[in-house]
Amino acid sequence: MKLWAGRFKHDVDQKTNDFNSSISFDCRMVKQDIMGSIAHAAMLGRQNIIDPSESEKIITGLQGILADIETGALKIDMQAEDIHTFIEGELTARIGDAGKRLHTARSRNDQVALDLRLYLLEQCGAVAQSLRGLIEVLLRQAAQHTETVMPGYTHLQRAQPITFGHHLMAYVQMLLRDLDRLADCKKRMAISPLGAGALAGTTYPLDRESVATELGLCGVCCNSLDGVSDRDFVIELLSCLSLVMVHLSRFAEEVILWCSWEFKFIELDDGFATGSSIMPQKKNPDIAELVRGKSGRVFGALLTLLTVMKGLPLAYNKDMQEDKQPVFDAVDTVLICTDTFAAMLDTMTVLKDNMRAAAAKGFINATDCADYLVGKGLPFRDAYKAVGTLVARCIDDGQTLETLPLSDYQSVCELFSEDVYDAISLDRCVQRRTVKGGPAPACVQQEIEAARTALKQVCKQF
Ligand code: ARG
């Protein structure tokens, strides 16, 4: 029997019922639906909109339902239209007429908007927790590798010397911004739409603020039409999650490269790699590839929501039921990717010698060599040209800047002397990049400390 049975002559067609029904996915919000109803019923009682004794009965009934669902004693009926209908039906079956008063001054339109906000707020906390775990792994690894020299790249060409710790800290910065965005997005999510009714508010003397406070929300929506039709908070969350996946997929790509024989900068633990069914020698970075690939699902969810919402007239439209599956899937995806990625990075072996060997090739100290001449008074552009000439000579002679004889240096520019070899040593090149945010071990150490403080600070908001 449908809620709206009075208006209809016969029941809905079975396939249409399945098509229309959302219980298979909105059942996730069962706890939030019940908590929202408890807060609503309590307020109805306080305001004498319903008899306080009936309000009590409703609350006890709802608590019983939640407890039974949690223990498994009560199964959610997948034939119900949605979780809201199911809970209301179950409540009435349990406590009789008082249950029929729960929906006074409420519509499923403001109810579903509330449920989704409450559910996603909880998920923001879970995502934050997971990001925090990943950041902590990176901070630990970075602290161990403030002196592990590796080549930094531009255009995927060896460019200048950095350290592995410095490289990892770049991802920490991205993930800290992700946390900050998530915290910001929560501000607009934590708003109660209850009281918006179907679209035009209600004639009952509601106390909307007290319901919001009881639910831990920061305020109430200011316009009833907006209250039921706003899904900006879903889109904002999906944008935040998409950026998380952009960051993870860039990192994943680097992990994949670093695992290749061409780089061999890291080796993944056997627990986080897979083999091949035919090639006995293979050890594949599948986890990183999956993370890279799964970013597509999250971006897809964002685009789905933008497309669902675009052009919708006010206020509620059933199109909006399509908001849930994509955002649920996106949250699940980010959680599993972040957790697995963290565990993978926590257990990897860093092949320092290979990183250093790669840094020793490719003339990545050429800029430092030019800076050396600048230190001796030459304008940078002239120094740049002189070192370019030296690099070309090295390539012709199969030399590096470290092995090139001083006489060759001096034949290009007489400002060179013996101390050039110290100036271009990889460790010196890194140590001297002491600008704030630079790769010098002391700077990275400072960056790590500051990031630890920032992490604590941002996590307070969840
Ligand atoms: N299942 C619906 C949704 O997710 C609940 C709201 C239904 N409202 C309505 N007027 N049909 O959006």
Residue owning the nearest CA to atom 12 of ligand 1? 321
Give yes or no for residue 8 having a pLDDT over 90.
no
User: Region 292-304: what's the mean pLDDT?
Assistant: 98
Give yes or no for residue 9 having a pLDDT over 90.
no
Strand partners, 162: 150
The tokens for 379 are 């304008």
Cα of 21 to ligand 1 centre, how many Å? 9
What DSSP line would sit under 341-393, residue for residue? Answer: HHHHHHHPEE-HHHHHHHHHSS-TTHHHHHHHHHHTT--HHHHHHHHHHHHHH
For residue 196, how many C-alpha atoms fall within 13 Å in the half-sphere facing its CB?
Answer: 28
Residue owning the nearest CA to atom 11 of ligand 1? 318
pLDDT category of residue 362 using cuts at 50, 70 and 90: confident
Cα of 20 to ligand 1 centre, how many Å? 9
Choose which residue among 8, 18, 318, 322 to substitute to test ligand 1 binding: the one with the highest number of ligand atoms within 8 A of its C-beta: 318
Task: Report the candidate in 131, 207, 127, 120 with the shortest Cα–Cα distance to residue 172.
Answer: 131
Domain 366-424 carries which CATH code?
Answer: 1.10.40.30
5-104 belongs to which CATH class? mainly alpha
**Which residues, in sequence order, are CB contacts of 384 under 8 Å at separation 6+?**
370
Helices (H) and strands (E) in the chain, counts: 19, 6
Cα of 7 to ligand 1 centre, how many Å? 18
Max alpha carbon distance in the chain (Å)?
101
Which pLDDT score, from 0 to 100, does residue 14 have? 87
List, chain by chain if needed, residues with CB within 6 Å of any ligand 1 atom.
22, 26, 82, 108-109, 112, 316, 318, 320-321
Which pLDDT score, from 0 to 100, does residue 276 have? 81
Task: Report the candidate in 78, 68, 81 with the shortest Cα–Cα distance to residue 31.
Answer: 68
pLDDT category of residue 282 using cuts at 50, 70 and 90: confident
Residue owning the nearest CA to atom 3 of ligand 1? 321
Strand partners, 335: none
User: Region 17-35: what's the mean pLDDT?
Assistant: 97
* 185-203 per-position pLDDT tens digit: 999 999 999 999 999 999 9
Which pLDDT score, from 0 to 100, does residue 57 have? 98
Cα of 321 to ligand 1 centre, how many Å? 6
Give the Cα separation of 95 and 387 in Å (integer). Answer: 87
Residues with a known catalytic role:
155, 276
Per-residue CA distances from 372 to 28, 413, 433 (Å): 63, 12, 13
110-357 belongs to which CATH class? mainly alpha
Give the three-class secondary structure for 311. Answer: coil
Which pLDDT score, from 0 to 100, does residue 1 have? 63
User: Region 41-50: what's the mean pLDDT?
Assistant: 98
The tokens for 142 are 């970075």
Residue owning the nearest CA to atom 2 of ligand 1? 321
Q: Do domains 5-104 and 110-357 have the same CATH topology?
A: no
Cα of 225 to ligand 1 centre, how many Å? 15
Cα of 76 to ligand 1 centre, how many Å? 18
Give yes or no for residue 101 having a pLDDT over 80.
yes
Which pLDDT score, from 0 to 100, does residue 180 have? 98
User: Region 423-433: what's the mean pLDDT?
Assistant: 94
C-alpha angle with apex 26: 98 to 232, nearest 5 degrees? 105
pLDDT category of residue 247 using cuts at 50, 70 and 90: very high
Backbone angles phi, psi at 287, to 5 degrees: -60, -50
Task: Report the candidate in 251, 206, 164, 87 with the shortest Cα–Cα distance to residue 430.
Answer: 164
* Ligand 1 atom with minimal separation from the 316 CA: 10
Q: Which residue has the tokens 């004639």?
A: 203
Give the Cα separation of 243 and 305 in Å (integer). Answer: 16
Domain boundaries, the chain: 5-104, 110-357, 366-424
Please report, rounded to a whole number, the percentage of residues in the chain having pLDDT higher than 70. 100
